[in-house]
């Protein structure tokens, strides 16, 4: 089988895991493209992306243009003479000139079964919507947003307790072999592209802190899904006595209450039971400002008065 000369473009941990899969295969990564270093941590020190760190470990040339729209960046990429470009959560738009540069074009590893969730946050939006299945799609890239022909799909169930964090990790497990299978199929001329049905597509908007606040007028099930989708970032938030509280873990109970939505019905070692428009939400793990995340039982040991029944969350 032919060994492909690959340019890899990606930035976060999800991308670096797929880069590692290619490095462990017979294919050759000749260059890596990743986002410019970003300030991180308390000292706001410039930090390399996970993809850059892995590339440097393997002595692979790293390119970090702010854009691929200018001619110099496009000429630099063309000079690498790649067979294929593999794009995984890169974060930059690839103009048509770049898509056309590698001999075999560009493929993308997308964290959902297309066309269900196109866009920036398919893992989180699938959980938030209550989907029971996700997966990874290997796609031939075109100028649209996640609209290209599908080359291979690998499926993965979404469990009722899944957060964005652990679904992310399981999608890596199914995505790595799917990517290598696709590379082997491309190298062997054995691909069967499948068109997407645009009528089935939804847009997975980027996550924002503004939408992290819990609305107690929603059902307990919808809030449970939101909390899991927003874990580990930006983390769902509510307020009690004008104090913001981050909610890390909760579960929806079927029992409904006659209390106004947002009312604390019960507080014990099992959690905080809060009335919703439909059902009851039991918060199990939460975080006060300036403190670590902890179980409700730990919090009640020191802050029991704060969580007296009848209080109103907002």
Closest CA to 188 of 137, 143, 135, 151: 151
pLDDT per position as a tens digit, 97-142: 999 999 999 999 999 999 999 999 999 999 999 999 999 999 999 9
Burial class (CB in 10 A: 0-12, 13-18, 19+), 147: middle
CATH of domain 209-307: 3.10.25.10
Closest CA to 51 of 41, 69, 36: 36
Q: In the structure encoding, which two tokens stand for residue 75, read together?
A: 């000429």
pLDDT value for 304: 87
Which residues of the chain fall short of a pLDDT of 50? none
Closest CA to 247 of 269, 270, 275, 271: 271
Model-level pTM?
Answer: 0.94
pLDDT value for 246: 98
Q: In the structure encoding, which two tokens stand for residue 232, read together?
A: 């580990």
pLDDT value for 305: 85
pLDDT value for 2: 87
CB 32 within 8 A of CB 60: yes
Distance (Å, rounded) from C-alpha 206 to C-alpha 291? 27
- Residues contacting 60, CB < 8 A, separation 6+: 29, 30, 31, 32
pLDDT value for 280: 98
Distance (Å, rounded) from C-alpha 101 to C-alpha 112? 26
- Chain region(s) in the chain for CATH 3.40.50.170: 5-204
Distance (Å, rounded) from C-alpha 88 to C-alpha 20? 12
CB 168 within 8 A of CB 228: no
pLDDT value for 29: 98
Distance (Å, rounded) from C-alpha 14 to C-alpha 117? 17
- Chain region(s) in the chain for CATH 3.10.25.10: 209-307
Q: In the structure encoding, which two tokens stand for residue 176, read together?
A: 């790595």
Distance (Å, rounded) from C-alpha 52 to C-alpha 54? 5
pLDDT value for 1: 73
DSSP 212: G
CATH of domain 5-204: 3.40.50.170
Backbone angles phi, psi at 153, to 5 degrees: -125, 140
Distance (Å, rounded) from C-alpha 44 to C-alpha 237? 25
Does an H or E element contain 175, and which?
helix 164-187
């Amino acid at each position: 089988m032919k060994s492909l000369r690959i340019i890899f473009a990606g930035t976060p941990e999800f991308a670096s895991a797929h880069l590692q899969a290619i490095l462990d295969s017979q294919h050759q990564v000749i260059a890596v493209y990743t986002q410019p270093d970003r300030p991180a941590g308390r000292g706001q020190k410039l930090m390399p992306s996970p993809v850059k760190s892995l590339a440097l470990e393997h002595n692979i040339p790293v390119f970090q243009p702010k854009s691929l729209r200018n001619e110099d960046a496009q000429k630099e990429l063309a000079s690498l003479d790649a067979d294929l470009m593999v794009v995984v959560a890169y974060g930059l738009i690839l103009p048509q000139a770049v898509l056309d540069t590698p001999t075999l074009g560009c493929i993308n590893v997308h964290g959902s079964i297309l066309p269900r969730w196109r866009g920036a946050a398919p893992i989180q939006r699938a959980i938030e919507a209550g989907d029971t299945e996700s997966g990874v799609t290997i796609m031939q890239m075109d100028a649209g947003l996640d609209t290209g022909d599908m080359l291979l799909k690998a499926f993965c169930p979404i469990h009722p307790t899944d957060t964005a964090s652990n679904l992310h990790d399981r999608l890596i497990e199914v995505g790595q072999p799917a990517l290598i299978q696709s590379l082997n199929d491309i190298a062997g001329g054995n691909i069967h592209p499948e068109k997407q049905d645009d009528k089935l597509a939804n847009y997975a908007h980027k996550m924002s802190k503004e939408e992290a606040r819990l609305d107690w007028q929603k059902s307990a099930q919808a809030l449970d899904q939101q909390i899991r989708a927003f874990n580990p970032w930006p983390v769902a938030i509510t307020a009690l006595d004008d104090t913001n509280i981050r909610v890390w873990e909760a579960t929806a109970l079927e029992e409904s209450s006659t209390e106004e939505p947002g009312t604390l019905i019960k507080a014990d070692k099992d959690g905080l039971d809060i009335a919703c428009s439909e059902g009851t939400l039991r918060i199990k793990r939460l975080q006060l400002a300036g403190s670590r995340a902890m179980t409700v039982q730990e919090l009640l040991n020191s802050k029991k008065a704060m969580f007296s029944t009848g209080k109103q969350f907002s």
